[in-house]
A = this chain, B = another copy of it.
Amino acid sequence: MDSTPLTRKLKAFVALTSVELEVLERLHQRRRVFHAGRDLVHQGQSEQAAYILSEGWVCSYKLQMDGSRQIVDFQIPGDFLGLRSVLLHTSDHSVEPIGEIVAAEVLVSDLLAAFAQTPRLATAVLWAVSRDEAMVVEHLVGLGRRDADQRMGHFLLELGARLKLVGLGTRAGYDCPLTQYHLADTLGLSAVHVNRVLRRLREAGLLTFRDGHVTFDDYDGLVALADFDPAYLDHTGPLLK
């Protein structure tokens, strides 16, 4: 049976038994499709369902009074959607699909049952959640202490590392459905400047962002420029006892 992005991701960190794999598989029952533009969750609204994203990208963002928006993070295939919102019965941000997405709806009860059945699964999911939080912190650091070029490089490298983990990218590059406006709202820049930064990086022979595809022309050079240390994505230490 084909493995889902989620299982690919988790298998990179915990050796899962066939029983655990099957439990995971069963969580992917209720497939649902969402379309671009229509938010899954609106700021302030309390939401009842969690999802496992299987195809497409999604972004979580906050709107400001003055109309500007700040994207907090992206979810790619294999990531959980709204897990925290469900556990805490609250959502303080909006979630928007980028293009069409396919997601498996997960009932809290099913998830908790799966955890009870296979505790190692709970550990693996907990790891995934904590990795997401580490990424938010790294994002915050970037906004506070990196210049535009470094931010861009770091962000695209991080995405690349995440996509590689679920088989959607290589060291050479990956497909990327984001517009330059998405990048601007993520990196705290203006769309105009995003364009200039991309040009600069391209002319420096570091990376090319064009026609929905990211190409790393000089991976090591980019890593050096952005001071990218994937440790926070890899921390493969012992979790929960």
Chain A residues within CB distance 8 Å of chain B = 44, 46, 62, 64-66, 68-70, 72, 84, 87-90, 92-93, 126-127, 130, 133-134, 136-137, 139-141, 143-146, 187-188, 227, 231-232, 235, 237-240
How far apart are the CA atoms of A237 and B143 in the complex, in Å? 31
Which chain B residues lie closer than 8 Å to A227 at the CB level?
Answer: 64-66
CB < 8 Å neighbour of A232 from B65, B92, B137, B235: B92
Q: Contact at B239–A88, with CB atoms within 8 Å?
A: yes
CB distance from A124 to the nearest CB of B (A): 12
Which chain B residues lie closer than 8 Å to A133 at the CB level?
Answer: 84, 133
On whether A92 and B137 interact (CB within 8 A), knowing A46-B237, A65-B227, A130-B84, the answer reads yes
Using CB atoms, name the residue of chain B closest to A235. B90
Q: Contact at B88–A127, with CB atoms within 8 Å?
A: yes
How far apart are the CA atoms of A175 and B114 in the complex, in Å? 48
22 contacts across the A-B interface (CB closer than 8 A): A46-B237, A64-B141, A64-B145, A64-B146, A65-B227, A66-B227, A68-B145, A70-B140, A70-B144, A72-B140, A72-B141, A87-B240, A88-B126, A88-B237, A89-B237, A89-B238, A90-B235, A92-B231, A133-B133, A143-B143, A143-B188, A144-B188
How far apart are the CA atoms of A69 and B140 in the complex, in Å? 12
